[in-house]
Structure 1
């Protein structure tokens, strides 16, 4: 039986308890967010765990004494960046009180706007699902909106020290390449955009594309689309990051009559899209191409590539696959 630090009825010694907690081998993460003025904030943490696959949830614990506590609990989004074995220095930097933590790392925004460390072992970009008060910490539960991973070995931590983790890559294991599925949804002369919560606008997104007339966008809102007018439009990466975007163009059934949209969804006039509030140049470029092709009445499909991409134009009217197959067989 393991040695006990105190009798059952004696007060818990916090130092001894911390040492006991520290015998559990963990990975090391850097958790990141942005404060009210958009300044990136981050700290090293190893109190991280997965929670649920459906919905996709994880949690981290934030000390109330942390200087970035208010930023994390008030931002509405955060990222968890799991470090690999070569990032001891990154861990030390984000555990310090340095005012320039982000100067030494490559970071980007992927989905929510929280800084993602692009060189990390694995990252999860999350919106805040719930915050639970827990003693001298807050439990921050996040819903995963995007993630990426790599085949490098993780950085371990145990008994207050970094630990080497033997991590042979299992046969057949590949890095994750999940895609953000976005939609260009028209109704009348308007295009539907979603607020990113920080004054900007993004495409409405869904967890998966289903070949029917109902689309459940992120946030749980079900929209009725015209399936015969839903087509793949663009496939591209954002700043060489995983995931990329898989974008469909679609039209709202009934031209949106009688649809009650949540506060974060809004139709913009096609000729008055808020390009200055679209955060990435890839999305801005795609929207400008969409406007040009819409005016010409002839759409293409864009595929990303190292030399700027390829566009294949679509000619002819859409037909059901069964009918097209029968015509080709004649």
Structure 2
């Protein structure tokens, strides 16, 4: 049963929830009818709005669905039960019950809002590890840990944003410090990096850019949420060889697949589509026209591109 929302709360609209959790609006309405959850309130205009507690639960439900659980099995659980189940699923998937102490120390700095200390610690790790190891061995697992803490409600959205901004500052500086590939270097692939309009998370894209730059690629970043037609036009104007797209777990899988298919159709060949990220669409239904890579695969993928390019040119 829905009730009027209090003027003292700041609930999320259905569009906000779709962007936040990756659960489509239509799916939210179906669950509401079929499972009696979520239970939206109504704003003064009669539109659905969702309390933050329900959004937290929906994040956990979406996480478990991505891990293979059925909605009808998990949606009736309490938030605490969902957190426990998510933890059990993570153990079976990754074989670890608690984060390594080093990762936990970064998370603790984030939770205590010590952002200068966090940036300093990240910068020191970068200097010690080098860019590629920094991305694969530290940033990727740390970002997953931050995302899980946010999805479980133990990390506030603003704290997740603070982490994102702190890491972005460190990684952008590292990328700019790397030797840049000359645009006329025929052995350097021209890679354009962006996300589809529905994908607002950019850390995966930034990590991919760092790995590509470290391999001597000429990178052109459009940032996040680029309209499809603009991606196609930018690829033509910039004469790119590869379009690299990042898909987080939060993006709706159907939208990810539909966007990749439309982009492939509009490009009409000649430009490779690379994709990466934790989205379920890339794990379960890999599109035949898209090359799907993990961060650790990028070095080999660029080396393979160079071989194919040299063979075609020779």
- As a proportion of its length, which structure holds more strand? 1
TM-score tier after normalising by the smaller chain length: under 0.3
Look at both structures and tell me which one has the larger radius of gyration over its CA atoms.
Answer: 1
- As a proportion of its length, which structure holds more helix? 2
Query: TM-score with structure 2 length normalisation?
Result: 0.27
Q: Which has the higher contact order (CA 8 A, sep 6+)?
A: 2
Query: TM-score with structure 1 length normalisation?
Result: 0.26
